Amino acid sequence: MSRAGNTGSNSTPESRKGLYINPEKKVEFSFEGQKYQGFEGDTIVSALAANGVWLLARSFKYHRPRGARSLAGLEADPLVQLEYEPNVQADKQTISQGLKVYGQNYSGSLERDRMAIVGLFSRFLPVGFYYKAFFRPRGIWEKLWEPIFRRGAGLGRVNLNSPHGYYDKRYGFYDIVIVGAGPAGISAAIHAGRAGAEVLLVEQEPEIGGSLNYFRFDAENRKAETLRKELLHELQQLPNVEIMTGSVCNGWFADNWLPIIKDNRLYKVRASEVILAAGSMEQPAIFRNNDLPGVMLGSGTQRLLRLYGVRPGKRAVILTANTHGYGVALDLHEAGVDVAAIVDLRSTVPDNEFTVAAANAGIRIEQNSTVSEALATSGNRHIKGVRVAPITGQGTYSDKSFEIECDLLCMSVGYAPAYQLALQSGSRLGHDDDNAMFQITSLPDGVYLAGSIDGAFDLDAVLQTGSSAAWKALGRLGLETGEEPMEPVDSGRQDINHPWPIFPHPKGKEFIDLDEDLHYADIVNGCADGYDDLELLKRYSTVGMGPSQGRHAALATARIVARETKRSMAEIGVTTARPPLGGEKLAVLAGRSFEPERLTPLHHRHKEAGASMMNAGLWWRPAYYGKDSERDRCIREEVLTIRNGVGLIDVSTLGKIRIRGKDAAEFLDRMYTFNYLKQPVGRARYLLMTNEAGTIIDDGVAGRLSENSFYITTTSGGADNVYRNMLWYNTQWRLDIDITNVTAAYAAISIAGPHSRKVLEKLGTDIDLSAQAFPGNEIRAGSLGGIQAYLLRVAFVGELGYEIHVPASQGEAMWDSLMEAGSSHGIRPVGIEAQRNLRLEKGHIIVGQDTDATTYPSECGMDWAVKFKKPFFVGKRSLQICSKHPLNRRLVGFEIRGGSAGMPEESNVVVHDRAVVGHVTSVARSPVLEKIVGLAYARAETEPGNTISIKLTDGTVTKADVVSMHFYDPQNERQEM
């Protein structure tokens, strides 16, 4: 015995032999700072057990010592802390050289947890305690109690210095996915594989075989090993059966979409058919102190023995109600453990090969008896014995009890099917009352059960349900399958589950849910408090809400609630099962992050020119050309370049759509608020789009190339939606047009500034650029510098300017030509920030910045673009209603002169009489006008000449003068040059 309280094993490391471990390779690791040795393949639990260490964790509420029970990753107790990872399942995590493991949820040390004193007050922590005790006075929960409880409870700690790991995803497609590679799953895989199906067999353990790897199917223990060899041999002949071990199918999603996690990779698998052969979960018995380290499930003991070669104790007592407990007794007996007694809940012990073998081995059998309480060493650190009492009725026992000394108690009193995936798929959980067993029914098409999850416990029956499930799946796949396999004669489910292995004790501590430290009385009292619906009881008592999600609590809870509310088990059932099945790391879900991003055809030119790039939706755009530290100077210079010389702006991100057909103009007339039917060929006209509610959702320019053909632009962010919207409407209207999204097919460059025409002339073009031949708001197609282009004379920035649209492949060539032709005029590239300033000086709105989700045209001075006289446009009828009501607000221009005033920011609120009446949508310091200009929503009656009050980010209020939105060149003289 190396440490106080940790008793139980005397297996010297040298003597161990188990399926999962390699005794040739020793592995050193540490737990709580102490060094231990295990073997390759050992889990933290098995390696520590081999070293006699059982106390692995402290419980959530009472800080009671806890150890491992299932060795199958079912319970929350063996959650441990690794250096870079909290809440690791110690019975699943294998050890590696130098691994540092720590216990969780204790104060001081795991061995001597100061918080264990909470357990003494357990009678004062009744169910619903938090709700009842801490809600008064108002607010005190958040301020006082919650921080205290958070410190006392909680699980592991996140290490913020954890290194980044590599996580990834992969997709898979199979005819049949089989979850669980025990005898049923393997049987199904062989049957399906032989028929030629593409099969994936998923197993969470490191080896396939399931119960064949550890369970005793016959008294002699010959069947399992023989069958295992046969099945594995058959599987090896089937290359179309892919096997994934160490992999967890962590959920079921619609149409058999399965997330399978293996190490750092998430496999997203689509299966035509899914066979669930996930087995069943052995259930604990309920009695006082059933949570002590050293109290294990029978199957957990067998796993420890066979998979890891660890002898789980020196002296064992078996509490059982089926032959499985006798199998465990025989296993322990053979392993050299002194089996002190088998305590059998059944009134008479049947004669069968197991009971006879146990009797022949000289094992004492106490029938019609239960363990009424487990006795603990000091500090509840380990079991030191059991008190055995004769049963007098359902859940009751006489006081003629006696003690048996032991350091291991194994419980084999029944199972619950691993129902989670089945229920997620839409199945129901019924109850087989005759056999006191949950039963999964109403499976959806394409989902099948095989093995003990389907209530088959006899080994032949298990194999048959596997073949049968495969046969049904193959039938749906249309693969040749032959005769339907025989239904099993005997499922072997009789006499497996005891209907009431629940024995309350006057002093309590008969734990139903070990995650949440709930005892028997908590469930009973929860029902008495009126929470008799399982979903309500769960939330009230927290039963089933811990990390093990009720795997060991659901059956006992349902039984107690059924009895307390006098309803059937089928009526009670279990709480809703949702994915994920077990904990999953966020990193696994995230994988490698694939963030789509879009680059314009001119992207590399911007990089070469030293642009600071910014995100705009998915696009990367040049904010300005220069270093971050020179931001303001760059923007100012770029603004002045356009006002005084000539500049180039990459506007390739604009949405571009071709509308062709004899109804093209009619279509635009319906989609947009302005008139297009009589728009002359060669004219470019503003586009304003509203939705059915009349809200502005996009704008752009329509150029009429011919009678039946328009080339239109949309906002950068709106392109996809506008295009999709157009298709949706015309799916209904059935106008004779086609609509093509050519956004990515064209590069677009805006050349603007007083010298822009001279630059184009120098480049050479067959388009007459004179102001008379090509005035503002016109579109031309022609050759520019030898490249076919559309030229649009638009003036978003308020200077003489052209948008040049060329095939994307010609974008760089056009950019280069323009830069060269403009060099003598001092041409330079201009970024988005300067463009935003320039358009603001002109009072041109940006949809989505100066408008919001309720802005309609009258609110932002766009009435001129709305034509009510045509029969229809989307939003017209709603705008007609709007026009009958007074405006609630108005977008106005404002200016602030003088250097001392604070600079407003976008979203600063506009206040009037201490009420918020609007907000700033755009604001900038204009280098040309030498003042702050901006746009803001204000009260509807606001007019130029008024002042508005803007509350700045620092809380102070500044006055701004309301002026016309057209701050710069209001007569548009400059752009008409």
Partner 1 sequence: MKIMHCPLNGPRNISEFISGGEVTDMPEPAETDDDTWADYVWMRNNIAGVVTEWWCHVPTSYWFLAERDTVTDQIICTYPANERYKERINFKSDTEENP
Residues in the site for partner 1, rule: CB under 8 A?
A: 253-255, 257, 670, 692-693, 723-724, 727-728, 731-736, 741, 868, 871-872, 876-878, 880-881, 884
Query: What is the number of other CB atoms lying within 10 angstroms of the CB of residue 54?
Result: 29
d(CA 773, CA 750): 20
d(CA 718, CA 741): 12
Q: Which is nearer to partner 1, 592 or 734 (CB)?
A: 734
Q: Which is nearer to partner 1, 384 or 670 (CB)?
A: 670
**Across-strand partners of 342?**
318, 365
CB of 940 to partner 1, least distance (A): 21
b/e sequence 524-533, b meaning 16+ C-beta within 10 Å: bbbbebebbe
Q: Crossing angle of helices 353-360/323-334, nearest 10°? A: 40
Q: Which is nearer to partner 1, 473 or 752 (CB)?
A: 473
CB of 723 to partner 1, least distance (A): 6
Name residues whose C-beta falls within 8 Å of residue 871's C-beta, 6 or more positions apart in sequence.
Answer: none
Query: What is the number of other CB atoms lying within 10 angstroms of the CB of residue 115?
Result: 18
Q: Which is nearer to partner 1, 257 or 864 (CB)?
A: 257
Q: Which is nearer to partner 1, 10 or 691 (CB)?
A: 691
Query: What is the number of other CB atoms lying within 10 angstroms of the CB of residue 268?
Result: 15
Q: Which is nearer to partner 1, 13 or 444 (CB)?
A: 444
Q: Which of 64, 27, 67 is nearest to 300 (CA)?
A: 67
CB of 140 to partner 1, least distance (A): 41
Q: Which of 180, 253, 177 is nearest to 578 (CA)?
A: 253
**Across-strand partners of 706?**
709
Q: Which is nearer to partner 1, 680 or 871 (CB)?
A: 871
Please give the torsion angle defined by the CA atoms of residues 534, 536, 542 and 546, in that order, rounded to the nearest 10 degrees: 60
CB of 656 to partner 1, least distance (A): 15
Q: Which is nearer to partner 1, 75 or 669 (CB)?
A: 669
Q: What are phi and psi of 699, to 5 degrees?
A: -150, 170
Q: Which of 199, 73, 130, 13 is nearest to 583 (CA)?
A: 73
CB of 670 to partner 1, least distance (A): 8
Rounded to whole angstroms, the maximal C-alpha distance in the chain is: 116
Please give the torsion angle defined by the CA atoms of residues 42, 43, 46 and 52, in that order, rounded to the nearest 10 degrees: 100
Helix (H, G, I), strand (E, B) or coil at 717: coil
CB of 169 to partner 1, least distance (A): 13
CB of 880 to partner 1, least distance (A): 6
Q: Which is nearer to partner 1, 253 or 864 (CB)?
A: 253
CB of 879 to partner 1, least distance (A): 11
Q: Which is nearer to partner 1, 670 or 842 (CB)?
A: 670
CB of 577 to partner 1, least distance (A): 17
d(CA 467, CA 481): 10
Q: Which of 794, 799, 904 is nearest to 841 (CA)?
A: 799
Could you give the C-alpha distances from 166 to 206, 263, 368, in angstroms and in order? 22, 10, 56
Q: Which is nearer to partner 1, 23 or 444 (CB)?
A: 444
Q: Which is nearer to partner 1, 50 or 739 (CB)?
A: 739
Tokens 């007569």 -> residue: 971
Beta pairing class for 598-599 and 684-690: unpaired
Q: Which is nearer to partner 1, 420 or 741 (CB)?
A: 741
> Cα 541 to the chain's mean position, in Å?
26
Q: Which of 204, 263, 169, 100 is nearest to 591 (CA)?
A: 169
CB of 881 to partner 1, least distance (A): 5
CB of 464 to partner 1, least distance (A): 32
Amino acid, single-letter form, for residue 727: L
CB of 270 to partner 1, least distance (A): 8
Q: Which is nearer to partner 1, 883 or 946 (CB)?
A: 883
CB of 674 to partner 1, least distance (A): 17
CB of 878 to partner 1, least distance (A): 6
Q: Which of 313, 351, 353 is nearest to 333 (CA)?
A: 313
Tokens 């088998």 -> residue: 342
**Across-strand partners of 699?**
688
Q: What are phi and psi of 112, to 5 degrees?
A: -125, 85
DSSP assignment letter at 462: H
